[in-house]
Amino acid sequence: DVKVTQSSRYLVKRTGEKVFLECVQDMDHENMFWYRQDPGLGLRLIYFSYDVKMKEKGDIPEGYSVSREKKERFSLILESASTNQTSMYLCASRLDGYTEAFFGQGTRLTVV
Amino acid sequence: AQTVTQSQPEMSVQEAETVTLSCTYDTSESDYYLFWYKQPPSRQMILVIRQEAYKQQNATENRFSVNFQKAAKSFSLKISDSQLGDAAMYFCAYRSAGTSGSRLTFGEGTQLTVNP
């Protein structure tokens, strides 16, 4: 079974802190994604990566950056956390453009 | 850009009954995929069913089936013989076909409650 693991299920951070959300997949997938989930808005794409060291902005990249130094790991970085970044963050991966995506269990981030 | 709309924020159904969740989408593409994902309280997103736009036949997976109307850009999910374990948030999603980096575009979600 494909496994997508997010490093934390719950995080509480202070305003202005630099925050790292980590995602690891164990199936040699090419594509990885970070989504943000908010009530009434569904899932919105923040960034995605289709290969190591490659990244593309999604629909809401402001205030975020990403890093993909190794194929299995895709990190989401909040350079200076703000209260409006309090949300659920979901990581996903897939082999390529023809196959289904697999999701991690989400990180619920609260910025106080 | 593609958009996906789920107009029912909440739905409820009696156990063993049938419920239909609605989804519409907007695209100028002719080749694409549509999905229904389920997110139970555990937060784990689970793929329920997938439909290729070039296929006229509606996809079916056990108690789950879709009504895909390409011209109307409608993609509804029917759950038959509803079970308590079907209670979850359901998301409709769209993806372009074949592009390596193509992303999933999601609707707002429908929270389904199953009453015993």
* Total beta-carbon pairs less than 8 A apart between chain A and chain B: 53
Residue B20's pLDDT is: 98
Q: What is the mean pLDDT of residues B30-47?
A: 93
- Show residues of chain A in contact with B6, CB under 8 Å: 42
Q: Pick from B44, B98, B104: which is nearest to A98 by CB?
A: B98
Nearest CA in chain A to B89: A42
Residue A63's pLDDT is: 96
* Count of H-run helices and E-run strands, chain A: 0, 11
Q: Is B68 on the interface with A (CB under 8 A)?
A: no
Residues of chain A with pLDDT under 50: none
SS3 A100: coil
